[in-house]
Structure 1
Amino acid sequence: MLNRSLSTFMNAFTASDYTMYPFSTQNEKDFQNLLSVYLDAVFFPCLREQDFRQEGWRLENENPTDPNTPLVFKGVVFNEMKGFFSDNGRIYAQNLQNKLYPDHTYSVVSGGEPLAIPDLTWQQLRQFHATHYHPSNARFFTYGDLPLEQHLKQIEEEALSKFECINPNTEVPSQPHWSSPREDHVTCSPDTLAPDPARQNTLSVSYLLGDITDTFEGFTLSLLSSLMVSGPNSPFYKALIEPKIGSDFPSVVGYDGSTKQASFSIGLQGIAEKDTEKMWFHKGEMCKINSFLIILEIEIKHQTTNFGLALASYIASSWNHGGDPVELLQINSSTAQFRQALKENPRFLQDKVKHYFKENTHRLTLSMSPDEAYMDKQSKAEKEKLQKKIQALSDCDRKEIYDKGLELLNAQSKTQDASCLPALKVSDIKPTIPITPVQIGTTGGVPVQYCEQPTNGLVYFRAMCSLNTLPEDLKLYVPLFCSVITKMGCGALDYRQQAQQMDLRTGGMSVTPQVITDSTQLDMYEQGVLLSSSCLERNLPHMFQLWSDIFNSPHFDEEERLRVLVMMSAQELSNGIAFSGHMYAMTRAGRHLTPAGDLQETFGGMEQVKFMKRIAEMSDLSGVIRTLPRIKKHLLNPENMRCAVNSTPQKMSETAAQLESFTKDIAENRKERKPVKTNIIEVRFQRELNFHPCQMKTFFQMPFPINFVSESIRAVPFSHEDYASLYILARMMMAKYLHGEIREKGGAYGGGARMGGGLFSFFSYRDPNSVQTLSAFRKGVDWAKSGQFTQQDIDEAKLAVFSNVDAPVAPSDKGMGQFIHGITDEMKQSLRERLFAVTHKSLVEVTERYLCAGQSTCGAAILGPENETIKKDPSWIVK
């Protein structure tokens, strides 16, 4: 359906005790189509044995066409869950839940413990579906502006009317309360990119709390949790992070209301073995209630494009256990009740701390430490499981496995007949886009883009500061500078006061590195940092005052504070690789293809991960501290800046006045009183004169049992006439060729192609293969070159592309394509017309022109386990 619809979202989520099947679209006919397909798929699936073997698990010859190759485990979910547990944070979170609730459903892995998956039979799965995926056990949620009656009628006619009521027996009992605390220990794989290899232990204390169907109690405990763990003013931050016992809180921290009874966890990751005893519970002061209630107000007013999905996810757990979903959405009444409770009993929160923490005997202390042999043990356990299965096979069984392997391969190689599925037509797509009016002006010599939008009482501010004048040796430090500049204090405020003011006065303030490829030339790009913040209209002067202080007098001299931030940042980067390995692979593969690609690897690739690890290992950060003001001088400079504001029409003139006051303030405080340039827009994009594209293949050996693979090819910029054909080609190859080869046959969790930033990139995610996948990318090119696709395939790819192009844009983000990327509505409309005009001939031509061997300049990257084939190949650089 991804290729037959204009959906803005389609997926399925597996929680610990429910499955959610959400979709969204802006087209009424498409909504009915998708509802029809979802109802059918959820309540009346075929669940054929072949589907179970492909998506779940199977025994199969390594090469399905050769019965003499060894038998191995295959299957999409089997590999997905192996990938899931290659992330140490997830190993910890899963064990914590299993051990805190040991007596029923939460004691098992709902997604499937990899080595338990091969014990599941097809019959068991069918039986499970029959009793659990039944309307008597379901809840329906719709959000949007289409009439509800039509949805209800369709749900009744296509699903509900076809079932009798049953008692599914799926109520989750309460976890029996322990009479005394417990301790446990688990192991994980060592992290080669950890900030400090000697400090890889995790330890936390978790408490069983109340039932999540009690809405007000959940609200209170969630707020109490925020008070205790959020930001540098929280007691646990002061007690655990600042003394540098560990690098950061672990993957599970604070309140968790996703299970029938909530829990609260507090702990640390990145602890040395000898320091695990230093962890303690700290009561702390309760002084931040107002700022959290303001954060709630901003969250309610801030409109996102996935608001309906966020609401569905927010109410799902409580509703699943019989809670009142409407009550859960009435945040204002919970806030009023909370204020009243505090008024009646000033010790209201202290009493909660006493009841749920001090006197609570259902407490689990869980530690996790790295084990050098962890991967070997996992591998050995899988081999033993495999051998056990193989030993039980007769010759007849082996023959059947071989025959079924061929049968599955044959089914995977056939084009599926999707004619039974409803589909929109390309003619259902609107020919033009709505224009977003923006006004361009200058304030204090700084160019400003004004965009009037229904922002619900919030003002959104962005500023792009150019990096063009920054010396080359400082580039690697830019992401670190961005992550600390809003967290070290400014003006008269120390970092704690700054954090408190940001909470009270804004919806957050951030600085992020930006690398933007020019829309007309591949070797031109813009480098800068983007300042972003939002606030309630009444707090506008306060927000700009905070930015003024950051520009005029940021604090850089506190080495201890910097060390805490460096450790947290390095830990976060290291943790993110197992989750986003395909992004790191794509970034690395594109490094030597364009100047922008090179800088992206510097700012956000494996080079940055390794750089931050080196910084985290330094015993003396005084050199880094000396570097930060040098960067600030080039970056936080009104001469190199342009701004954008989104607000309501009623508030725009006041916002402009506040912005003018801000730009004057930061200009006056500069030491060198040069006149401010007004042609910043004209010098946005620059050319890298010494850059020459070249081929490069890099392999990163990682402590994962699965691979992330990418190949990137230098192609064309956004405004080029061939961009539209390459954009549609990427989508069509993904749906019509790569999905079948990489997921269905290869067993990877995902894979595909995308076009953007001047590069045509292939990727795979949680992939049991590496070299074989690179070969599948090449075969995909041959498939496209040979023109083995139909007009229907092209139309479906166009639908999928337009669902992305026409995805809704929140009021806060309107006009940002023009401000950040330099892409105007006229340029978008021009691309739209070229997308409509893409033909079979143009797709074959762009494949030959850009993607074929000999024509293309490409890079490749793999993140994965030890790989002898690649190590023996001199064309690969091994890291």
Structure 2
Amino acid sequence: MELHNIYSGFRLDRIERIDEINGTAYEMKHEKSGARLIYIDSPDSNKVFNIAFRTTPQDSTGVAHIMEHSVLCGSRKFPLKEPFVELVKGSLNTFLNAMTYPDKTMYPVASKNDKDFHNLMDVYLDAVFYPRAANDPEIMMQEGWHYELDSVDDELTYKGVVFNEMKGVYSSPDSVLERELMHALFPDTTYGVDSGGNPDNITELTYEKFKEFYNVHYHPSNSYIFLYGTMDIEEQLRFIHDEYLSHFDAIEIDTEVTEQSPFKEGRVITYPYSVGSDESTDNRTLHAFAYVLPSVTPEQSLAFEVLTHALLTSPAAPLKQALVKAGIGSDVSGYYLDSIRQPIWAVHASGSNLDMQEQLQSIVESTLEQLCTEGIDKELLEASLNSIEFALRESDFGGRPIGLAYVIRMMDNWLYGHDPLELLHYEEALVNIRKGLQGTYFEDLIRHSILGNNHKAIVSLYPEQGLQEQKDAEVKAELANIKASMTQDELQAIVDQTKRLKLRQETPDSEEALATIPLLELSDLSPDVEDVERRESMIGHTKLHFVPTFAKGINYVSYYFNLGCLTEEELFYADILSDIIGRVDTSKRSYEDMAKAINLNLGGLSSDVTGISKAGKRDEFVPLMIVRSKALHAKLPELCQLVNEVIHDAQYTDVTRLTELVQESKAIWDNEAFRRGNTIVSQRVMAKVSKVGKFRDDGNLGYYQKISELATNPAALPLLPEKLADVARKIFRSNNVDILFVGEEHELAPFTELMAPLLENWNAEILPDDVLTIEHTTSNEGIVTAGKVQYVAQGGNFIDHGFTHVGAMSVLETILRYEYLWIRIRVQGGAYGAFANFYDDGNMIFCSYRDPNLVETLNVYKELPEYLRQFTLTNREMRKYIIGTMSGLDLPMTPALRGPRAMGLYFSGANIEDKVAFRKQVIACKPEDIVALAEVVEPVLKDNNICSMGNEQKIKDAGVFDNIVSLG
């Protein structure tokens, strides 16, 4: 392709090589429609398409978010109720979603299959340019909000998918804090409202405003199109032009993100959030103190990421330490945000009290002044720079398409008329920043952008018991007044509309409509699984696993410690050890110096506790603590020394430091527990059913309960050093660990030579590995919170009833997630979503999330066996579910994921042949195989193992729980 030429209506304005991502970018403009397009040609088979629109709402009705949902509910070429769902059911996509940001909405898809990629792109383009929602108010009602009234005598209620999703979001205090902070910093711009929607305002959205928003924002002249990966770009451009953009003329659109005028003085805001009537309010206040920064360059943005890491992220971070030591909060963190037009730099403190508000601002500013005067520790800055640089070079996004990460980053400039490609380059910026370490680069950055900057705000959220009950009562009274003001004809109209909407939701799409969704053939599927090679050898008493992988010069090293040597009571201390590894003093250096050493030399060091079930076995699992590390191969000696030090030489004697870490852990859980609701209730159900379920629950809600108790019990904290040292002695033994090394062939021998002498000094005590015995829970629990919605779980074990794990169960997961549970719980019930999982150890779980219902959802689960007995499906629809299931089994394998995949197979006892056989069962699945699963599901549901977390009154009114406990 040549510069300035026209290709299917697209004028090629720029070609630029980007070595950092091994790609060449082509920037274009569609002359007729005004659409912008960038293609990055890169040797990556995981192709990405994205279309984004600048969406700038002026209120908090959630119109941008509701629009994101609604345009995916049927279009011109695909006249189904939800083509998005039909795509998920039957696509080999590696990513498929839509996202609403404060000032943009993005519709990205990815696939390795050329035909599938084309299909995904077609459905998404038709959805955004020709949605049925633009002429069908019932779609906005379903996805956004509507009045629901089954009869004129019933109670009037609100219902809607986004309405309930955002009720869930507003149940998390840290989410509310972020929204109040943005409102405080940007009172006069689009950032001052909530693009996702505030439940208090969503019901103000009318269909007229909804249509107006679509007409203004969803035109090609307001669009940003992105393509990435190995493809015939001229063919893609021709398709986009012929099918879509050629039918539009460019227009002038004013969706500009205006800038907030600087403040003359900072703002101070306090705001209550609700906690349960039984929850404590001590140390539950959250603070956010933030600055809106003057204009910054991409280099300065990267420098701010380094600065934030150095000052607030690392255990050696001086600003974090100053705030913790002053008692401002037990969990202190911060971030730099440049994905909006005016970047912000923020400090957060939780586990605090309201009277600390003024002191927080004072300490932040005085500490920054002192750091600028005395100079920031150069070694600390270098360590943080190395950590950021490693992440840039590794470019690992946990299996997500890397092209998606690139377009998200590009939009941070592209949306505001700045150079989008500039943000993909980082080599020159790294060189300049590294040079700046020798001078006052970072101190000057603080002086210029923060100190003396009055465009700032401090927002504090304080807990208030009973606030949610008060708000619920107000909403109930409001609805009663609305109903009372209506005539009988108006009420009947709502009843009729409710019936029409339910009929719409219950009526399946016609076969003709379903046939419009393009579909692959079963012949496009392969039962084969990528076999990750794993070789075993020994280093003294220790088994070494080698996974040969080209990883761009990076080595991934993990240490798998068996926890079978512990009692169940001791697992709590293993979880604490996992939390604090690398964050306490060693016999060789302080925890601050350790943090610097880790960031200077490694790409990361972390730990987690997990249980890996034995394949096909009931209640057999391997309990593990996994210590993970990664570094450039040149830093392998430092990696071995540092891991050895945090494992072998850690000191657990500093009660003050341990107390800080315990209180920090509790504060994090206080803020995030509700967001983890689906995991909590699912594992709570499994704790009643299986040993591995109870083991996982011990490290989840069980851990939160115990850490909360420990954090508020001064008498117990001095006993912690002895407990931790004893458990560490039992776990960290050379004959109790499997070591994983991921790298190239020539890199293995150096690692073995480095690790061998270190392991000789590890504890080699022989201890029994069958000490751990797990006691199941016995009650069905309701976990009360101040939340506005519920998480509802039910499950059991099908091996108990004589069944084994088969491929049809994975197909049923797809059917339930995107058909039965989707329609009954999301579409009709108004929840954000629901899922089902069947595991090869026999465990089975159903769970809804951000669900306005509880008993009604349990009834949906109860009625599932009858649904399965009546299950019928055309061959085409069955093929769709099979393809969608295979997509979930085919996640891309990055170098970082290859080792854990191999070790998962090793500890579970599974093999590639078993995986291939299972995939063959999936591909061969027939409707009658799904029908037969009614006999599996029914007895498990009759075991009646349930748990729900959510609104206090809903939990208490349900009348189905043996035990009701408070989350806090």
* Deviation of 1:122 (Å): 1.3
AA partner of residue 213 (structure 2): F
Partner of 2:846: 762
C-alpha distance after superposition, 1:711-769 (max 9, x if no partner): 1121249x985432222212212222110000110000111212225312111110000
- Tell me by how many angstroms 1:556 deviates: 0.4
Shift of 1:384: 4.7
Match of 1:309 in 2: 404
The amino acid across from 2:188 in the alignment is: D
Contact 1:257 1:317 in 2 (8 A): yes
CA, structure 1 residues 340+525, in 2 after alignment: closer, same or farther (shift >3 Å)? closer
Q: Which amino acid aligns with 2:837?
A: R
Cα distance between partner residues in 2 of 1:425 and 1:561? 59
| Partner residue in 2 for 1:130 | 215
Letter in 1 for 2:684: R
Give the AA of the match of 1:367.
S
How do 1:60-79 residues align onto structure 2 when only pairs under 5 Å count? 60-61=148-149, 64=150, 66-79=151-164
Residues 209 and 262, structure 1, Cα contact 8 Å, conserved in 2:
yes
- Whole-angstrom CA distance in 2 between matches of 1:689 and 1:353: 54
Q: 1:442: Cα distance to partner?
A: 1.7
C-alpha contact (below 8 Å) 1:461/1:644 kept by paired residues: yes
SS in 2 for 1:656: helix
Query: Does residue 1:25 correspond to 2:111, yes or no?
Result: yes
Q: Partners in 2 of 1:121 and 1:726 — Cα distance?
A: 42
Aligned residue for 2:427? 332
Deviation at 1:411, TM superposition (A): 1.1
Residue type at the aligned position of 1:300: L
Gapped regions of structure 1 (runs ≥ 5) = 678-682
- Paired residue for 1:240, among 311, 323, 327? 323
1:787 to 867, 871, 877: 871
Does 380-389 or 568-577 show the bigger shift?
A: 380-389
CA contact (8 A) 2:532 2:902 kept: no
SS at match of 1:83: helix
- Residues 720 and 652 (structure 1), Cα distance of their counterparts in 2 relative to 1, 3 Å cut: farther
Can you list the C-alpha shifts for 1:656-713, whole angstroms capped at 9, x where unaligned? 3333x2xx423334274x6xx9xxxxx99x798887x897421111110110001112
CA contact (8 A) 2:619 2:690 kept: yes
Task: Determine which of 583, 600, 608 is the counterpart of 1:504.
Answer: 600
> Residue 117 of structure 1 is aligned with which of 193, 202, 209?
202
2:176 to 73, 91, 100: 91
What SS does the corresponding residue of 2:227 show, helix, strand or coil? coil
1:608 aligns with 2:703: yes
Distance (whole Å) between structure 1 residues aligned to residue 817 and residue 289 of structure 2: 45
Report what 1:54 is aligned to. 142
Tell me: CA distance 1:873–1:387, structure 2 relative to 1, closer, same or farther (3 Å): closer
- Structure 2 vs 1, CA of residues 320 and 209 (structure 1 numbering), >3 Å: closer, same or farther? same
Percent of residue pairs identical? 24
Q: Tell me whether 1:197 sits opposite 2:281 in the alignment.
A: yes
C-alpha distance in structure 1 between counterparts of 2:764 and 2:496, whole Å: 79
Q: Is the 8 A contact 1:88 1:188 kept in 2?
A: yes
- 2:57 is matched with none
- CA 1:835–1:550 in structure 2 vs 1: closer, same or farther (change >3 Å)? same
- 2 CA distance for matches of 1:817 and 1:146? 29
**Secondary structure in 2 matching 1:371:** strand
Change over 3 Å in CA distance of 1:868–1:49 after alignment to 2: closer
Q: How does 1:507-526 map to 2 (within 5 A)?
A: 507-526=603-622
Q: Which residue of 1 aligns with 2:63?
A: none
Q: 1:106 aligns with which of 177, 188, 191?
A: 191
Correspondence for 2:307: 224
User: 782-791 vs 638-647, which deviates more?
Assistant: 782-791
Partner of 1:296: 388
One-letter code of the match for 1:824?
Answer: N
Describe the SS at the equivalent of 1:852: helix
1:75-105 CA-partner distances (Å, limit 9, x unpaired) = 1111111111011001111000011011111
- In structure 2, give the amino acid aligned to 1:409: K
Taking only aligned residues, the RMSD between alpha carbons, in angstroms, comes to 2.4
User: What is aligned with 2:238?
Assistant: 153
TM-score of the aligned structures, taking structure 1 as reference length: 0.93
2:460 to 350, 367, 371: 367
Name the CA shift for 1:855/1:330 in 2 (closer, same or farther; >3 Å): closer
* Matched residue count: 854
Cα distance change, pair 694–275 in 1 and its aligned pair in 2 (3 A): closer
CA distance in 1, matches of 2:251, 2:958: 60
Q: Quick one: which of 798, 815, 837 aligns to 2:882?
A: 798
Matched, 1:864 2:950: yes
Structure 2 counterpart of 1:414, which letter?
T
Q: Which moved more, 1:693-702 or 1:292-301?
A: 693-702
Tell me which moved more, 834-843 or 557-566.
834-843
- Distance in 1 between residues matched to 2:552 and 2:838, nearest whole Å: 35
**What is the rounded CA distance, in whole Å, between the counterparts of 1:236 and 1:456 in structure 2?**
35
Q: Matched residue of 1:269: which SS?
A: strand
- Does structure 1 conserve the Cα–Cα contact (< 8 Å) formed by 2:797 and 2:844? yes
Task: Please list, as runs of the form range in 1=range in 2, the aligned pairs for 1:824-863 lying within 5 A after superposition.
Answer: 824-848=911-935, 850-853=936-939, 857-863=943-949
Indicate whether 1:272 and 2:353 are aligned. yes
Supply the distance in 2 between the matched residues of 1:441 and 1:193 (Cα, whole angstroms). Answer: 55
Letter in 2 for 1:187: P
Letter matched to residue 356 of structure 2: D
Asked if the contact 1:5/1:803 (under 8 Å) is kept, the reply is yes
Gap change, CA 1:654 and 1:142, over 3 Å in 2: farther
* Equivalent of residue 451 in structure 1, options 522, 547, 570: 547
Q: Deviations over 1:331-367 (max 9, x none)?
A: 1121123344556xx2232222122222112121222
3-state SS of the aligned residue for 2:796?
strand
CA contact (8 A) 2:286 2:352 kept: yes
| Whole-Å separation in 1 of the counterparts to 2:703 and 2:797 | 23
2:254 counterpart SS class: coil
Which residue matches 1:563?
A: 659
Distance in structure 1 (CA, Å) of the matches to 2:502 and 2:472: 26
**What CA deviation, in whole Å up to 9, does each residue of 1:268-327 have, x standing for no partner?**
222123433432221232422322232233212323422222222222232211221211
Q: Give the Cα separation in 1 of the matches to 2:675 and 2:278.
A: 14
Distance 2:942 2:807 in 1: 18
Deviations 1:762-782 (A, max 9, x none): 111100000100101121232
The 2-side partners of 1:321 and 1:513 are apart by 44
Q: Does 1:778 align with 2:838?
A: no
- What is the CA deviation profile of residues 828-854 of structure 1, one whole-angstrom value per residue up to 9, with x for unaligned ones? 112112222322232222321x21147
Q: Is the 8 A contact 1:590 1:712 kept in 2?
A: yes
Question: Which 10-residue stretch deviates more, 74-83 or 708-717?
Answer: 708-717
Q: Is the Cα contact below 8 Å between 2:733 and 2:764 reproduced in 1?
A: no
